[in-house]
Amino acid sequence: MELLTMAMTGHDGGVIAKSSAVYFALVARSGDPLVVKEIQVTTYHILWELVHVFFERPGFWNRGF
């Protein structure tokens, strides 16, 4: 379907990070699940804000980015 896909994983990324279905794999390289969760929550909030900023800019998506 030509979708841009992203996976957030922990430790070494595992099978998901190596999957051909994943375009971006953001791996929180830590063995501590609490550290992985904190990194993923922070990353999620940053991405959420970026999406909102881009959609609030009129004409941004029509520039060929």
What would the pLDDT profile of 31-45 be if each residue is shown by its tens digit?
A: 999 999 999 999 999
Confidence (pTM): 0.71
- CA–CA–CA angle 48, 38, 49 (5° rounding): 15
Structural domain that includes position 38: 6-63
User: Would 27 be classed as within a structural domain?
Assistant: yes
Helices and strands in the chain, H and E counts:
2, 2
Q: Tell whether the model's pLDDT for residue 54 goes beyond 90.
A: no
* Number of domains observed in the structure of the chain: 1
Portion of the chain with pLDDT greater than 70, in percent: 89
User: Would 57 be classed as within a structural domain?
Assistant: yes
